[in-house]
Each structure stands twice: as C-alpha cells, then as structure tokens.
Amino acid sequence: MAAGPTVSETPPPPITFDARFYEFLNALPHSRHSDRYIGLVSDLGEGAGWAFAGLWLAALDGRRGRHAALASTAAAAVATYVSQKMLKPIFRRNRPWFTREAAKVVGGKTPDHSFPSGHSAASFAAATALAMAYPRARPLLYLTAGAVGLSRIHLGHHFLSDVIAGSLIGTAIGYLSGQAAGVRSQPDRRRRSSSPSAWRRRRASAG
C-alpha cells in the first residue's frame, strides 16, 4: 500500500542577532506601571510630544524657536509619511509577533508592517532638526529619540533593524528640514564678546 503524501513542517524562524536582541529587550520585566511609563515614551514617537516642544520653543525663543519648531514639526510629519506610506508597503515586513511566539506585546497589534519604525523616524527627525538650533541639547534630544526606539522593541512592536532604519531615515529628513527652514544655532555669548571686533569696540570706548 502506497504511503500518503507527507506534510512538510514550517521551518522555525532563523535566530538572527535581530531576533535575539528583540527577545532580550522584550523579555525584560513588564509591570502595569513600567508599561504605562514606557508607553508614554513610545507615544512621543507619534509626534505629539515633539510638536509640544516645538510650540514651547516658538513661544519662548523668538525667531530661532519658530524656525526650530517649523523644522522639527515638518520633519516629524515627513518622516512619518515616508516610513508609513512609502517604505512599509514596499518592504512588507511582518511584525515581530508573527514569528516570535514568546513576544510580549503591550498595546494594540497594529495591522501595518514593521520596517522601518515610524516612531523612530519621526523622533530622530524632530531631534535632528532641534539639535541644529540647540547644539548643547543634542545629547538629550538624541537620548530621548533613542529611548523612543528602544521602547518600541520592549513593548513588542519592532525589531532592532526597524528602529535603526527609522533612525537613519529620520536623521536625514531632520537635517534637510533644518536646512530648508534656515535653522541656525545661536552663537555663544562668551565667544561673541571675545571676538576681535568686540575687543576693538571695548578699547575704543575705554579711550
């Protein structure tokens, strides 16, 4: 009697560094309070937090603040559009929970694709544009944007490569937006006061 056809089993997903990093960060302890606070960090990537920062700067820092606000808000919006509407439909990478059975997903399982991370792209776009106007705040801005990207992994929504790709896209868009908006950092006051022209003015007034 002839044997029936064998049913091929689906091979397990490959254990790449991307997958290992995802499993490590996603498996870190979750609690109701930690997920709430990390979720707030993640929500910055939706643009509301960066837009608020831009409005605050526009109200308090004159022309430089207005240019920074315009550049950062536009950069975040463009980065989100490029990631969500242009690149994700091309790469069509599934979300991590499709291949990682142990994934802990906090929040709704969105129906769109994973690559690149739109939250990371928007955050790094806004951070780059703001850093062009406020270079001393650059470490804090990029640390905040990086925290948004890592939060997306911990909450189960993205792989590391999604976040890296989004951050690179966002950085490029943020720089171009800053250039287009004419963002300039304010010269340091001590440097201006010690310039040769300032020294000559002080000498003339003293004489």
Question: What is the mean pLDDT for each group of 10 consecutive residues in the chain (207 residues)?
Answer: 52 76 91 91 82 85 89 94 95 88 84 92 95 93 95 94 97 95 64 50 54
pTM for this structure? 0.81
CB distance 65 to 84 below 8 Å: no
Position 131 in a domain: yes
pLDDT at 148 (0 to 100) = 95
Position 1 in a domain: no
Q: Positive or negative CA dihedral for 110, 113, 115, 118?
A: negative
Position 28 in a domain: no
Position 69 in a domain: yes
The total number of structural domains that make up the chain:
1
Position 15 in a domain: no
Q: How far apart, in whole angstroms, are the C-alpha atoms of residue 21 and residue 120? A: 17
Position 24 in a domain: no
Position 75 in a domain: yes
Which residue segment(s) compose the domain that 119 sits in? 35-98+107-185
Q: How far apart, in whole angstroms, are the C-alpha atoms of residue 151 and residue 26? A: 9
Residue type, 123: S
